[in-house]
Structure 1
Amino acid sequence: MRETTVNDAPPHDQAASAGSNARPVPFRGGGFAPQPRKGVGLVVFVALIALAEWGTRTGFITNLTLPRPSDVLITLGELWDSGLLMKHLQPSLTRLAVGAALGVAVGIWVGILIGLFSYVRAGLVPLVAALFPIPKIALLPLFVIWFGIDEGSKYALIAFGTFTPTVVATYGAVDNVDRGLIRMGQSFGLSWASIVRKIVLPGAMPGILSGLRVSLAIAIILLVAAEMLGAEYGIGAYILEAGSLYDLERLFAGVVILSLLGVIVSAVITRIEKRLLRWRG
């Protein structure tokens, strides 16, 4: 009598045998389940700084194009010791906070209205599409005429610059909410307001927060542009003065401050995401 082998076994037995010996294939990209890799970003950053320091000290990189990172660090220390850092940073943070808060708040509100109401969408989407590609920096002279050369024009420029990308991101996020969840809420007899509050807004929140990252980055860029016109103090005014004197150490010190500001803003949004999006698991 012939012995039964794996090849002679029924198909379902072969599948079970193969399944028991199979190993799971990891998803290499990690996009669906990102794992924290602590210290990797810091290592990359330190490596780039060390490379720049080595290049400027050995002459491979001329000091006319890139200052030594150690000299920039010394300049930052002098700024702190002299008190000029806070004199420039405080008005910049105030302008950024007020302008971005106005633009983001109005942008989210308008974006939600566009996502929920057809008539609002038909009326405002063409207007937003016409305003979005306009370079906001080009409108700074117009804002100066309207609001004066003081703080009003700076707030208006930052608010307008953050408004349009926030609107686009918000109504796009509302549009991407799973319609199956909305129909489920309707089948359970939820009111329109309850569906918006419990399904639409939580479902749109990831897209809104992603758009907020872009909007705040634009706000920092416009902050520098606004402070280069008619501002005595501010990071933008500091960079403009350093550039006019071709003082690369001071210029790069201002750039470092802006970079740190961007990192802090990104970290704050990450904390907000972790708090508001805990339901995603």
Structure 2
Amino acid sequence: MLLLLAEWGTRSGVISPLTLPKPTDVFQIFVELYSSGLLFQHLIPSLLRLLVGAALGASLGIAVGLLIGLFSFVRAGLLPLVAAIFPIPKIALLPLFVIWFGIDEGSKYALIAFGTFTPTVVATFAAVDNVDRTLIRMGQSFGLSWVSIVRKIVLPGAMPGILAGLRISLAIAIILLVAAEMLGAEFGIGAYILQAGSLYDLERLFAGVVILSVLGVLVSAVIGAVERRLLDWRT
């Protein structure tokens, strides 16, 4: 309905073409991008950067979050540090990462990984901390070892919160991907949007925005599939 309303408004003149392009023109841009090969030329580098950076940040974030949640001495040392770096706008650190890792792929991976790391740590720690202590005491009363309690009680109980945190972390990763690609990237969705915006090419600009939206939907669908796989015990 929104697409039909936008098409009617732009064709009738109610909506200025300088404000919103026709959806059919944006669709035509997609056809041109696909037929020319530019779609995958921009999409594949972005997917690779997102996959590598988010995998590094999320895996480290889950590991650190579990350590903070399970060990009080780790919590005392690392939780203040995480609380200090969590509010920092990660985009503001991009020039620093460029200085440290160069303007090539290293700085992009580092920015995405760091931006994914901190919310994943916070979500994982909160999920572990919210596990029902009654279940843990019940496991202890049945003589379960510490490893068994973590594997059979803590991790399953914390998994919904961890996966919910990953949804937020991966959304942040997509935002940082675009920001990183707007600085020193020849190919990528962010570079494509920046080029279209500098030329005031609204059709190509909206095509890039739609690609990002579809990417976000696909990431959410992947997390949903993982949730159904790992949390089937709840049904």
* Matching residue's letter, 2:186: E
Does the residue aligned with 1:181 lie in a helix, a strand or coil?
Answer: helix
Name the CA distance, whole Å, in 2 between partners of 1:227 and 1:88.
10
Match of 1:224 in 2: 178
Does the residue aligned with 2:185 lie in a helix, a strand or coil?
Answer: coil
Match of 1:186 in 2: 140
Deviation readout 1:89-115 (Å, 9 max, x if unpaired): 010000000000000000000000000
Match of 1:147 in 2: 101
Deviation readout 1:80-137 (Å, 9 max, x if unpaired): 0000000000100000000000000000000000000111111111111111111100
Name the CA distance, whole Å, in 2 between partners of 1:176 and 1:260.
33
Please state if 1:206 is matched with 2:160.
yes
Structure number having the greater helix percentage: 2
Match of 1:239 in 2: 193
Name the CA distance, whole Å, in 1 between partners of 2:11 and 2:170.
36
Name the CA distance, whole Å, in 2 between partners of 1:190 and 1:141.
50
Q: How does 1:76-115 map to 2 (within 5 A)?
A: 76-115=30-69
Which consecutive segments of 4 or more residues in structure 1 shift more than 3 A? none
* Matching residue's letter, 2:4: A
Q: How many residues align?
A: 235
Whose radius of gyration is greater, 1 or 2? Answer: 1
Select 1:124's aligned residue among 78, 82, 92. Answer: 78
Q: How does 1:1-281 map to 2 (within 5 A)?
A: 47-281=1-235
Name the CA distance, whole Å, in 2 between partners of 1:169 and 1:55.
43
Does the residue aligned with 2:114 lie in a helix, a strand or coil?
Answer: helix
Aligned-pair CA distance for 1:233: 0.3
Name the CA distance, whole Å, in 2 between partners of 1:108 and 1:71.
43
Deviation readout 1:202-237 (Å, 9 max, x if unpaired): 000000000000000000000000000000000000
Segments of structure 2 that go 5 or more residues without pairing to the other structure are none
* Matching residue's letter, 1:156: A
* Matching residue's letter, 2:216: G
Name the CA distance, whole Å, in 2 between partners of 1:49 and 1:124.
48
Name the CA distance, whole Å, in 2 between partners of 1:195 and 1:269.
25
Greater relative contact order (CA < 8 Å, ≥ 6 in sequence): 2
Name the CA distance, whole Å, in 1 between partners of 2:162 and 2:14.
45
Segments of structure 1 that go 5 or more residues without pairing to the other structure are 1-46
**Overall identity of the aligned pairs, in %:** 81
Name the CA distance, whole Å, in 1 between partners of 2:90 and 2:11.
40
